[in-house]
Amino acid sequence: MKKFVVTAVFFAVMAGSSTQAASFNCRYAKLPVEVAICQSRELNRLDEIMARKYYRLKRRLGGNDWRELRSEQRRWQRRRNRCGYDRYCIEDSYVYRIRALNHWLFDR
């Protein structure tokens, strides 16, 4: 009976936890970097900030600017993915990307 209660509490807590990072669904997280983001409130918050800025730019840009931004985003994602589970590497990667997106937002 005690084991059942503990198990039920565990699943209740997990059901209430966020399964959505801003840029991907945590239920389908497979890459180590995605798992790390989904397990960290701070990394999840950085992902949300980055995604908000990126999608704002996506709606605003057109033509060559949009293609350049998309290409830059993909290169950044490949670099970020190489961080694996390294929380500090992931955090640094997001800080770098958020700064770069700010330049896109305010310099164009």
Tell me: pLDDT of 63 over 70: yes
Residue 22's pLDDT is 74
Residue 62's pLDDT is 84
CA-to-CA distance for 81 and 93, rounded, in angstroms?
Answer: 10
For residue 54, what are its two tokens?
């990126």
CA-to-CA distance for 90 and 12, rounded, in angstroms?
Answer: 29
Q: Is the pTM of this model over 0.95?
A: no
pLDDT, tens digit, for every residue of 66-86?
999 999 999 999 999 999 999
Q: What residues are paired with 20 via a beta bridge?
A: 25
Residue 108 banded pLDDT, cuts 50, 70, 90: low
Residue 4's pLDDT is 42
